[in-house]
Amino acid sequence: MKTLYKNTRLIAAAIVGSLVFSAGAAVALTKETGQKSAKHAPVDNVGRFVVTPKSTQFVPPAELVGRFIVSQHGASFVPVVS
């Protein structure tokens, strides 16, 4: 019991330090993700997803403006170049 009492401040400092580090890492990752998504130009009307309890369907607009490419690592939109 005597050893635990002597190390209490060290344990508390380690806990607070790890909380500060993890909060800083979370803020840094959030800012990085926000900057990456802000680089893409917005598309006016890409289409819409119709979701029902039994199915999901993508309804494109009247003209073809591009397509979604979905992989295991992410998803991206490729516009049609005219």
Residues 34 and 2 in one domain: yes
Question: In whole angstroms, what separates CA 79 from the centre of its chain?
Answer: 22
Residues 45 and 25 in one domain: no
Distance CA 76, CA 67 (A): 8
Number of domains in the chain: 2
Per-residue pLDDT of the chain (82 residues; tens, 9 = 90+): 566 667 788 888 899 999 998 988 888 777 666 555 555 556 566 678 888 888 888 887 766 667 788 888 888 888 877 6
Distance CA 70, CA 51 (A): 18
Q: Facing residues of 58 across strands?
A: 49
Residues 9 and 23 in one domain: yes
The predicted model scores a pTM of 0.36
Task: Write out the residue range of the structural domain in which residue 25 sits.
Answer: 1-39
Asked whether the beta carbons of 59 and 45 are under 8 A apart, the reply is: no
